[in-house]
Amino acid sequence: MRSETRWDVITFGETMLRLSPPHYMRLEEATSLEVRIGGAESNVAVALCRLGLRACWWSRLPNTPLGRRIENELRRWGVDTSAVIWDSDPKARTGLYFLDFGVAPRATEVYYDRAASAASAIGPEDVDAQRIAEARLLHVTGITPALSARCAAAVRYAIEAAKRAGTRVCFDTNYRARLWSPEAARTTLEPLLPYVDLLIAPHEEARLLFALTEEKERMARALHDRYGIETVVVTCGGDGAYAFSPSGEHFAAPYPIAYVVDRVGAGDAFDAGVIYGYLQQNISLGLEMGMAMAALKHTLPGDLLLCTFEEIEAVRTAHHQTSPSSIRR
C-alpha cells in the first residue's frame, strides 16, 4: 500500500440525529427524547479514531443547529470533517431516526424520518476524487445507495475513483429493510462488488441479497469465488465471524456480553476493528479487534464506540475478566 497518505480511511454517508426515549419507554408515551447522533459510516470513523487512525468523513448537512450538532460532535471525537458540504437551503433537512428500545421477546424498532434529507441529495459531482486518492482505504456501505439514485451513483463514482487511485475499497452490505427491498438492493449492490477489496456482510444478508445458500463457515469463500473479492468477512451475530483472505481462512469467537446496554452500532464498531487489521495486512487481528469492539459497543449507550485503545486491547487479549459487578478503583 502507498506510504504518503493524508488519511487512513475516508468515508461518506448520512449521519442522522438519533432520538430515543429514556428507560425503555415507548415512543408513544415518551415525554422526553435523548438526542445523539448515528450513521453507519461516521460510527466507523469515530471508532477508527479511537484506535489512533486518521479518518475523514463527509456528507451534505443543512447549515442549521441540527446539521452543526452532527459535524461538531464528529469533530469532537477526532474525525476530519473538513470536506462536509453545507447546504444553505433553509428547507434542507437533517435525517432523523427514532429508536424504540426493546429487550427479548420485544425487538428494538428503528423508525426513519430521513426522506429528502440533505444527505440523500449527494451526487457524483459531490465526490472529491482527489481526497479519495489521498486515503489508504475508502469505506462505503449499502445504506447510502438505498437513499436515492443520486446517492447510488455517488457511491459507484467514489468506488471507481478509489480503484483508479489505488485506494483500497471496503464495503459493508448494511441492508436496511425499511429503506428498500432485497431485489432492489441486489440490483444496485451486485455491480459494485467486483470493485471491492474488503467485503463485510452478515451471513443472513449474504443469503437474502445474493441468494447464496452456503452455511456460515463457507459463505466468505462463496462470496470471494462469485465476485472475485480479495478479502471477505462474514458476521454471524453471537456465533462469531469468519474471514476468507489471501492469508487463509480465519474465525473469531465472540466475547461474552454480560448485559446489553445498547447494541446499535456494534456492526460498525466491528467494521472499524476489521479495517484496522486489514490495513496491517492482518485480517486475523482485524477479526479479533472487531469482536472486542463489537462486544464493548454493546455496553455503551449511543451509536458511538467511545472506548480507549487500552480497553479494547484488554478485552481482545482477555487480560482480565470483567464480572457484572466488577468496579475498578
Ligand X SMILES: O=C(O)C(=O)C[C@H](O)[C@H](O)COP(=O)(O)O
Q: State the residues that interact with ligand ADP by CB under 6 A.
A: 202, 235, 237-238, 241, 254, 257, 266-267, 270, 291, 294-295
**Candidate residues 268, 279, 302, 307; the one interacting with ligand X per rule CB under 6 A:** 268
Torsion angles phi and psi, residue 283, rounded to 5:
-70, -25
Choice between 65 and 105, CB closer to ligand ADP: 105
Crossing angle of the two packed helices 309-316 and 283-297, in degrees rounded to 10: 110
List the single partner that 39 binds among ligand ADP, ligand X, none, CB under 5 to 8 Å by kind.
ligand X
Check if the beta carbon of residue 85 is closer than 8 Å to that of residue 61.
yes
Query: For residue 38, which of 64, 20, 62 has the smallest C-alpha distance?
Result: 20
**Does the active-site annotation cover 172?**
no
Q: What is the DSSP letter of 326?
A: -
Q: Is residue 303 within the footprint of ligand X (CB under 6 A)?
A: yes
Q: Is residue 143 within the footprint of ligand X (CB under 6 A)?
A: yes
Candidates 70-78, 241-249, 252-260, 261-269; binding stretch for ligand X (CB under 6 A): 261-269
The CB-nearest residue to ligand X is 267
Choice between 83 and 257, CB closer to ligand ADP: 257
Which of these is catalytic: 8, 262, 268, 271?
268
Residue at grid coordinates 456482510: 201
CA–CA dist 159, 170 (Å, integer)? 9
Q: Is residue 67 within the footprint of ligand X (CB under 6 A)?
A: no
The Cα-based distances of 234 to 16, 130, 214 in angstroms read 26, 31, 11
Residues in 167-206 that interact with ligand X by CB under 6 A: 176
Choice between 155 and 287, CB closer to ligand ADP: 287
List the single partner that 124 binds among ligand X, ligand ADP, none, CB under 5 to 8 Å by kind.
none
Phi and psi based region of residue 320 (left: phi greater than 0; alpha: psi -120 to 50; beta: remaining): beta
Least separation in angstroms between residue 177's CB and ligand ADP is: 12
**Candidate residues 62, 67, 145, 265; the one interacting with ligand X per rule CB under 6 A:** 265
CA–CA dist 93, 115 (Å, integer)? 9
Q: What is the DSSP letter of 54?
A: -
Task: Taking the CA atoms of 41, 190, 224 and 157 in sequence, report the sign of the dihedral they define.
Answer: negative
Least separation in angstroms between residue 47's CB and ligand X is: 10
Q: Is residue 266 within the footprint of ligand X (CB under 6 A)?
A: yes
Q: Is residue 74 packed enough to be buried (19+ CB in 10 Å), middle (13-18) or exposed (0-12)?
A: buried
Cell triple for 26: 415507548
Site string for ligand X, 10-49 (x = CB under 6 A): ----x-----------------------xxx--x------
Q: Which residues bind ligand X (CB under 6 A)?
A: 14, 38-40, 43, 143, 176, 264-268, 303
Provide the annotated active-site residues: 268
